[in-house]
A and B are shown apart, each in its own frame.
Chain A
Amino acid sequence: MLSINDLHAGVNGNEILNGISLEVKPGEVHAIMGPNGSGKSTLAGVLAGKESYTVSKGTVTYLGKDLLGMAPEDRAREGIFLAFQYPVEIPGVTNSYFLKASLNAIRKHRGLEELDAVEFLQLVKQKMKIVELDQSLLNRPVNEGFSGGEKKRNEIFHMAVLEPRLAILDETDSGLDIDALRIVADGVNKLRSKDRSVIVVTHYQRLLDYIVPDFVHVLMDGQIVKSGPKELALELEERGYDWIKPQAERSGAAV
């Protein structure tokens, strides 16, 4: 599905990612954890094609294609979805209008027929249930005035409608109350399938109680300094990040 090899990237000459390598197979869920500012969102942004980042070295292969050579909208159309840590407001554009345009752009790219208003509404009704999205959020401008939790829930709703192949969830749990966390996580679980992969960026083990990952990676200073099974998250919860760094330096290996 996704193969990241020695990826270096930064902003205005400042390197943020210092050689990341990661292999994600179809159906797998990978959790990425790490202290603030370690580069998690940067990695997510680079994968999604955010133009403000410059890749200085390394390769990323997605479904056999050179991902870094693709425009962000083409990556989206090819099935990459990013649930934003900070979803963006688009005043005056209703959530449903936006999502319909988005879905149809993706469908068109895949040679599928575009959905008309009625078909779209039917689809949306069904998908709203997955994250128990409030009807009113459909007709309000995209993210404008949404509470923090509503924004996150809306991101997963987008994911449910767009049915990506690779979903990157950047701190989708932050800002969610306890019930919402469970609902959203359940939603993500419903969307898990043998050919859909998920990268979950989070600070907290509790999300991973619901969305159980196949692998956990620790990102520090732009490098994956430790990888392990789901239990690694528990250990991190208990011990924090301090203990990892020296060990990583000793072994000298990133993966």
Chain B
Amino acid sequence: MSTEQSTIESLANREYKYGFVTEIESDTAPRGLNEDIVRLISSKKGEPEWLLEWRLKAYRHWLTLEEPTWANVSYPAIDYQDMIYYSAPKQKAAPKSMEEIDPELLKTYEKLGIPLAERARLAGVAVDAVFDSVSVATTFKEKLNELGIIFCSFSEAVREHPDLVKKYLGSVVPANDNFFAALNSAVFSDGSFCFIPKGVRSPMELSTYFRINAADTGQFERTLIVAEEGAYVSYLEGCTAPIRDTNQLHAAVVELVALDNARIKYSTVQNWYPGDKDGKGGIYNFVTKRGKCQGVNSKISWTQVETGSSITWKYPGVLLIGDNSVGEFYSVAVANNRQQADTGTKMVHIGKNTKSTIVSKGISAGFGQNSYRGLVDVKKGAANARNFSQCDSLLLGDKCGAHTFPYIEVRNTSSRVEHEASTSKIGEDQIFYCKQRGLSTEDAVNMIVNGFCKEVFRELPMEFAVEAQKLLGVSLEGSVG
């Protein structure tokens, strides 16, 4: 049996253990990928012709590409013909009550301080049995509607707002951008669409947290966020509890577009299944995220806390096209046990007086390998561009690793690029100091690690920050002492 098969199996078993029945066979496409599968996906979703063409073009291009191997990660080859690309509607027989949920799982949620109702949702309990999700979502939607904000699933956007989708889809991450983006473009299942019209400030954080029906996302999701002139939105992605997923490969694409004076703040707390202690199972998180500061004075900030996945390959970047535009990247990435993370950012300075800030905090524990890979690319026309990068690594234990790969390209003389890097080991002295003050080892590690990540957590919306802190504690549990 191949490693891959056994990996899938272990995931499947795990799913079983939690009391889920897997997808209903009848609505599942056969294994493998070809043009017919792409057509099938498109027709199942009732898509317009242009979108099918777009998918097919992406697929044909994907065939010419090879899977990238430059990342500092290793994994058994993925057999793309052995995967299922369409299995919606994913009708899992939901457990009927909390009693049917694995108590271990509930304990984890409890530790995370997730509200009861939310715990149930995450565990997959049919939501209407717990609280009225529909009414929550409806009041929410009405409020946004009044302001002209569109926030819906990607499929709905294709149906209801085809012009907007057509205008912006692939405008930041072209279908032929890279291997995984091309694959996603060909077969993406669903995702989120968000449009903030001119001059509107979203009165609330938009989050998948509220969009209950979209919480159970597939492996190839696509997010598109557009902020028109002067608009502002803060968008939260993911949730802070283990989303169990039978899929092995998760190749999402996220595109952000900010017009003049617009601001987009995109926060992620990613906690996909990381695999077990020996590295068996877990999600390959190969994601392409990019923002385009198209207008003057626009600003895009990425804040990410990556604690899950067995492999993370992710470089949220910003194209700084508009003059005076600003790109920010704040990241905490954890690699524990056998996890591997190769993550960072790309800041491409094109407009004048563009500014970027990169703060990356990598935490390695167990046998985890954590790499920061960042590109700061200052083009010829980007007069007076500024970049400041800071990459800190924290090691817990001596079998893990931290690597930094900063790439800097500057093509004009008026720009200034600063890079600082540090690697430190969590000190026995620090832990002892905490214990001498009455704190347990776990609390000590937690506190030290959270202190290390402070500059990033500060960027997260308050509630998210609290949960991220707890999550970090859970994912590093038992890694020291």
Q: Which chain B positions have C-beta within 8 A of A89?
A: 430
Task: Say yes or no: is A158 at the interface (Cβ < 8 Å to chain B).
Answer: yes
Task: Say yes or no: is B131 at the interface (Cβ < 8 Å to chain A).
Answer: no
B433 and A76 contacting across the interface, CB-CB below 8 Å: no
Q: How far is the CA of A217 from the CA of B436 in the complex (A)?
A: 24
A101 and B447 contacting across the interface, CB-CB below 8 Å: yes
Q: Which chain A positions have C-beta within 8 A of B450?
A: 92-93
Q: How far is the CA of A77 from the CA of B435 in the complex (A)?
A: 9
Q: How far is the CA of A102 from the CA of B436 in the complex (A)?
A: 9
Q: Which chain A positions have C-beta within 8 A of B434?
A: 90, 98, 102
A82 and B436 in contact (CB under 8 A), knowing A93-B450, A141-B451?
yes
Chain A nearest Cβ from B296, distance in angstroms: 35
B430 and A73 contacting across the interface, CB-CB below 8 Å: no
A73 and B451 in contact (CB under 8 A), knowing A88-B430, A101-B443, A105-B443?
no
Task: Say yes or no: is B398 at the interface (Cβ < 8 Å to chain A).
Answer: no
Q: How far is the CA of A41 from the CA of B436 in the complex (A)?
A: 14
Q: How far is the CA of A131 from the CA of B455 in the complex (A)?
A: 31
A51 and B438 in contact (CB under 8 A), knowing A88-B427, A90-B451?
no
Chain B nearest Cβ from A92, distance in angstroms: 3
Is the contact region of chain B dominated by helix, strand, or loop, or is it mixed?
Answer: helix
A162 and B437 contacting across the interface, CB-CB below 8 Å: yes
Task: Say yes or no: is A193 at the interface (Cβ < 8 Å to chain B).
Answer: no
Chain A nearest Cβ from B389, distance in angstroms: 18
Q: Which chain A positions have C-beta within 8 A of B388?
A: none
A72 and B451 contacting across the interface, CB-CB below 8 Å: no
Q: Mark A43-87, 1 if CB is under 8 A from B, else 0.
A: 000001111100000000000000000011101110001101001
Top 10 A-B pairs, shortest CB-CB distance: A92-B451, A92-B454, A93-B451, A102-B437, A88-B433, A105-B438, A76-B438, A72-B435, A106-B438, A73-B435
A90 and B438 in contact (CB under 8 A), knowing A101-B443, A105-B443?
no
B447 and A98 contacting across the interface, CB-CB below 8 Å: yes
Q: How far is the CA of A90 from the CA of B443 in the complex (A)?
A: 13
Task: Say yes or no: is A91 at the interface (Cβ < 8 Å to chain B).
Answer: yes
Q: A48-B436, A81-B436 are in contact. List 5 more A-B contacts (CB 8 A).
A: A76-B438, A84-B436, A102-B438, A102-B439, A105-B437
A105 and B440 in contact (CB under 8 A), knowing A72-B435, A91-B452, A93-B448?
yes
Q: Which of B435, B437, B452 makes the CB contact (< 8 A) with A92? A: B452
Interface residues of B in 25-60 (CB under 8 A from A): none
Q: Which chain B positions have C-beta within 8 A of A98?
A: 434, 437, 447
A77 and B447 contacting across the interface, CB-CB below 8 Å: no
Q: Which chain A positions have C-beta within 8 A of B440?
A: 73, 105
Specify which of B429, B437, B453 lies most central, judged by the most chain A CB atoms within 10 Å of its CB. Answer: B437
Q: Which chain B positions have C-beta within 8 A of A84?
A: 433, 436
- Identify 28 residue pairs between A and B in the complex whose beta-carbon atoms are under 8 Å apart, listed by A's number: A48-B436, A51-B428, A72-B435, A72-B436, A73-B440, A73-B441, A76-B435, A76-B436, A76-B438, A77-B438, A82-B436, A87-B433, A88-B427, A88-B429, A88-B430, A90-B430, A90-B433, A90-B447, A91-B454, A92-B455, A93-B448, A98-B447, A101-B443, A101-B447, A102-B439, A105-B439, A105-B443, A106-B438
Q: How far is the CA of A99 from the CA of B430 in the complex (A)?
A: 14
Q: Which of B432, B433, B437, B447 makes the CB contact (< 8 A) with A51? A: B432
Number of interchain pairs (Cβ within 8 Å): 78
Q: Which chain A positions have C-beta within 8 A of B452?
A: 91-92
Q: Which chain A positions have C-beta within 8 A of B427?
A: 88
Q: Which chain A positions have C-beta within 8 A of B441?
A: 73
Chain A interfacial residues counted at CB < 8 A: 32
Task: Say yes or no: is A109 at the interface (Cβ < 8 Å to chain B).
Answer: yes
Q: Mark B318-357, 1 if CB is under 8 A from A, else 0.
A: 0000000000000000000000000000000000000000
Q: Which chain A positions have C-beta within 8 A of B428?
A: 51-52
Chain B nearest Cβ from A67, distance in angstroms: 14
Q: Which chain B positions have C-beta within 8 A of A71?
A: 435
Chain B, Cβ-Cβ closest to A158: B437
Chain B nearest Cβ from A242, distance in angstroms: 33
Chain B, Cβ-Cβ closest to A106: B438
A101 and B448 contacting across the interface, CB-CB below 8 Å: no
Q: Which chain B positions have C-beta within 8 A of A72?
A: 432, 435-436
Q: Which chain A positions have C-beta within 8 A of B436?
A: 48-49, 72-73, 75-76, 81-82, 84
Chain B nearest Cβ from A93, distance in angstroms: 4
Chain B, Cβ-Cβ closest to A82: B436
Q: How far is the CA of A73 from the CA of B437 in the complex (A)?
A: 7
Q: How far is the CA of A89 from the CA of B455 in the complex (A)?
A: 17
B448 and A90 contacting across the interface, CB-CB below 8 Å: yes
B437 and A76 contacting across the interface, CB-CB below 8 Å: yes
Chain A nearest Cβ from B441, distance in angstroms: 8
Chain B nearest Cβ from A14, distance in angstroms: 18
Q: Which chain B positions have C-beta within 8 A of A76?
A: 435-438
Q: Which chain B positions have C-beta within 8 A of A49?
A: 435-436
Chain A, Cβ-Cβ closest to B446: A101
Chain B nearest Cβ from A157, distance in angstroms: 12
Q: Which chain B positions have C-beta within 8 A of A109?
A: 438
